[in-house]
Amino acid sequence: RIEPLRSAAYPVVRDLVVDRSALDRLIQAGGHVDVATGTAPDADAVLVTHDDAELALDFAACIGCGACVAACPNGAAHLFAGAKLAHLALLPHGRLERGRRAVAIVDQLDAEFGPCSTYGECVEVCPAGIPLAAVAAVHRERLRSVFRGKAD
């Protein structure tokens, strides 16, 4: 049976077409690095441990398909948002805007998506294999921004 992604965050436009702009707004809220990172040769000067690089790549594997939101009974996007937050928090250039990014993403998440109840359906359907630990990144980064300030 073929049907569109089902979620309150994805209103149906017509047969098999949904509006995923809520997910796009979540990415625009902070799923990227805004600071000047230099040119390609400058990248060699920024040291990243092998373990951090591997973990960041695991979280960066998220393709933004939105299947996690559609699978969640609450319509939560915490797996997607957590993957972005965790991926960028592990990299040196991403750390520069960590607090501001966390506040922006969590505010957008709360405004357009449902709450996460850690059912785990999102992990079951994720084609990139993002682990449920990504959800913890949302809560960790939210608390970190509260205690350390928005612009850390």
Residue 18 lies in a domain: no
Residue 78 lies in a domain: yes
Residue 20 lies in a domain: no
pLDDT of residue 152: 60
Residue type, 48: V
pLDDT of residue 2: 66
Per-residue DSSP letters for 128-146? Answer: T---THHHHHHHHHHHHHH
The model carries a pTM of 0.85
Residue 100 lies in a domain: yes
pLDDT of residue 21: 92
Residue type, 139: H
Residue written as tokens 């996460």? 116
Residue 137 lies in a domain: yes
**DSSP three-state, residue 90:** coil
Question: How many domains would you assign to the chain?
Answer: 1
CATH number for the domain harbouring residue 115:
1.10.1060
14 forms beta bridges with 17
Please check whether residue 88 is in contact with residue 35, taking contact to mean a CB–CB distance below 8 angstroms: no
CA-CA distance, 59 to 128, in Å (whole number)?
9
Residue 12 lies in a domain: no
Residue 109 lies in domain: 25-32+40-148
Per-residue pLDDT of the chain (152 residues; tens, 9 = 90+): 666 677 888 888 888 888 989 999 998 998 777 777 777 777 777 788 999 999 999 999 999 999 999 999 999 999 999 999 999 999 888 888 888 889 999 999 999 999 999 999 999 999 999 999 999 999 998 898 888 865 56
Tokens read off for 25: 């707004």
Please check whether residue 76 is in contact with residue 69, taking contact to mean a CB–CB distance below 8 angstroms: yes
The β-bridge relationship of strands 12-14 and 17-18 is antiparallel
